A and B are shown apart, each in its own frame.
Chain A
Amino acid sequence: MKYLPYAAPAVIGVIVLALWQLTVTLLDVPPYLVPGPLLVAQTMAQDADLLLHSLLVTLRITALALFFSVVMGVVIAFLFAQSRIIEASLFPYAVLLQVTPVVAIAPLIIIWTRDVQTALVICATMVAIFPIISNTTLGLRSIEPGLLDLFRLYRASRWQTLLRLRVPSALPYFFAGLRVSGGLALIGAVVAEFVAGTGGSGSGLAYQILMSGLQLNVPRLFAALLLITLAGVAIFALTSLLSQLALRHWHESEFGQR
């Protein structure tokens, strides 16, 4: 029973792959329409150098974007939590940032920054930062009133209250935001790469997908797609692990998990 969460999806995965391979082989589907999983695996091995290099490029952009999202998002959240006026005047702009499709502004940013890599990081950050801001702000505000009374009773300074009460209270909210942002940073990076297109120095996974599409190299397209998905899963697993390590002692969301 302990391995059920891993075994069950694995079995389903194997069955689907087998059916897929069987259908492709039996119906003799041409590989430029739908390649079988075996062919995709083969392509993955053949083009390993190329694909891994692209993966690294995309991951680098994702990691940078997530890093900047966390740093800037947390700083902004602290500012928001300090005063309602700051929050009231700036929060609408954070929402504006969130609802503007990155595809629509990416070309502008690419023109402005000249350096494509920088532009991509900026785009991905814009996509990923919002959950960190909104969650952390909410967390810094969501404090048990009784604890706040307690800190007032012992005449805690604003600074002490922030460090010893607001920050720990905000941690679960921050980590929930981080898990969402991790996935968004990857999506932002890939979408921005698409917009940057085949021109310039871009050579991330989205670039490989675009090129493979143009060359009708569909197996490689599938391989690149698979890598993006796997990267997304890995990022989610990593952020979840961080959250678990930080909260396992006390927060309801991580009880009973090993």
Chain B
Amino acid sequence: MPDTSTIRLRNLSFAYPNGLRALAPVDLDIRAGEFVSILGPSGCGKSTLLRLLGGLLTPSGGSIEADGDFAGQTTGFVFQSPTLMPWANVEANVRLPHALAATRDSDASARIDHALQMVGLHDFRHAYPRELSGGMQMRVSIARALAKQPRLLLMDEPFAALDEITRHRLDRDLRELWAAEKLTTVFVTHSVFEAVFLSTRIIVMSSRPGRIVGEVTIDQAGEAVTPRNDEFRISEQFARRCAEASRLLNLGMNEDEFRGQAA
């Protein structure tokens, strides 16, 4: 029986304390097992939306409702920078979510081992963050987000600061991880190509205050998942989806703001 757990955003809006409206009312359903990318211009409120989903911000209006498997679960969050504790080694960093929840040691250790194996850093578990490359640090951050076996993984432009080759590799690894773990993922990016490569569905947002302009479906629900490899990147299918996402992105650009920036 398919998992019907859903996270429902209804009329969700947010304004910062200084009065800045970051998010216009947004309606969105995130269904179990999806890989949803949020695509939008810089400053449109993508991070704000993700932080609302993670419970780091409280909505100014509207609601977020999680049912089924999502209810009351911890989420994994991967920030734009690795945000590792420099005084703790890789293993201790990945252990943090368990340490804070006081999980039984034996249970925690097994999950930490598993998480480190998934990101391929098991041999580096005693290394300190400064001894790792940027890409490796990001993978530690992913392992930490996975350590508590979350039902929902939130990622905020995790690979934006990395070089293209590393980024492509991590994109591929992430997609495999998602497929293997059946992990519902919400991924923020402003790269059209990355969004198309990774997602089952892309949500395109307008410039600030962000609202949803439209969506692009990559994998039809129930349909066999399109394999993600280098061939996909040069396929006609890929190009068509990119064109569609770009069109929506341009549609959502606020004309006035554009002129304001140009002046």
Interface residues of A (CB under 8 A from B): 144, 146-147, 149-156, 160, 164-165, 168, 171, 249-251, 255
| Contact indicator B130/A250 (Cβ below 8 Å) | yes
> Does B86 lie within 8 Å of A251, measured CB to CB?
yes
Query: Which residues of chain B are near A164, meaning CB under 8 Å?
Result: 96, 99-100
State whether B101 touches A146 (Cβ < 8 A).
no
The majority secondary structure among interface residues of chain B is: loop
Among residues of A, the one whose C-beta sits closest to the C-beta of B84 is A147
Interface of A is mostly: helix
CA A197 to CA B179, docked complex, whole Å: 80
Query: Nearest chain A CB to B17's CB is how many angstroms away?
Result: 15
What is the minimal beta-carbon distance from A154 to any residue of chain B, in angstroms? 5
CB-CB under 8 A from A255, the residues of chain B are 130
Contacts of B130 in A (CB 8 A): 250, 255
Indicate if the CB atoms of A250 and B101 lie closer than 8 Å. no
Is the Cβ of A154 less than 8 Å from the Cβ of B100?
Answer: yes
| Contact of B87 with A153 in the complex, beta carbons under 8 Å | no
- Tell whether, in the assembled complex, residue A156 and residue B56 are in contact, meaning their CB atoms are under 8 Å apart: no
Q: What residue of chain B has the Cβ atom nearest to residue A156's Cβ?
A: B100
Please tell me which stretch of B1-9, B71-79, B109-117 contacts chain A, meaning at least 4 of its Cβ atoms lie within 8 angstroms of it.
Answer: B71-79
Contact call B81/A146, Cβ cutoff below 8 A: yes
The answer to whether A168 and B100 touch across the interface, beta carbons within 8 angstroms, is no
Closest CB-CB distance, B56 to chain A, in whole Å? Answer: 6
In the complex the two chains form, is A144's CB within 8 Å of B83's CB?
A: yes
Q: Contact at A147–B85, with CB atoms within 8 Å? A: yes
Least distance between A197 CB and chain B CB atoms (Å):
48
B86-105 CB mask vs A (1 if < 8 Å, else 0) is: 11100000001101110000
Q: In this assembly, does B120 line the interface, its C-beta being within 8 Å of a C-beta of chain A?
A: no
By a CB distance below 8 angstroms, the chain B residues around A151 are 100
Question: Given known contacts A154-B97, A154-B101, what 9 new A-B pairs fall within 8 Å (CB)?
Answer: A147-B83, A149-B83, A153-B55, A153-B74, A165-B85, A249-B128, A250-B87, A250-B128, A250-B130
Residue ID in chain B nearest A147 by CB atoms: B83
Q: Mark B124-139, 1 if CB is under 8 A from A, else 0.
A: 0000111000000000
CB-CB under 8 A from B97, the residues of chain A are 154
A156 to B51, CA, bound (A): 17
Give A149's nearest chain B residue, CB to CB. B56
Q: A73 to nearest B CB, angstroms?
A: 21
B209 contacts chain A at the CB level, 8 A cutoff: no
B54, CB-defined interface residue at 8 Å: yes
Residue pair A249, B87 in contact (C-beta under 8 Å): yes
A60 to chain B, nearest CB (A): 34
Name, among B51, B56, B85, the residue most crowded by chain A CB atoms within 10 Å (CB to CB): B85
Query: What residues of chain A lie closer than 8 Å to B86, measured between beta carbons?
Result: 250-251
Please, how many angstroms separate the alpha-carbon atoms of A160 and B98 in the complex?
12
In the bound complex, do residue B87 and residue A150 qualify as a contact, i.e. CB atoms below 8 Å apart?
no
B75/A153 in contact, CB under 8 A: yes
Q: Given the interface contacts A149-B79, A150-B77, A250-B128, does A155 sit within 8 Å of B100 by beta carbon?
A: yes
- Chain A residues in 8 Å Cβ range of B87: 168, 171, 249-251
Q: Which residue of A lies closest to B80 (CB)?
A: A146
Kindly list chain B residues whose C-beta atoms are within 8 Å of the C-beta of A168: 85, 87-88
Q: How far is the CA of A171 from the CA of B75 in the complex (A)?
A: 30
Chain A residues closer than 8 Å to B85, beta-carbon distance: 147, 165, 168
Residues of B within 8 A of A251 (CB): 86-87
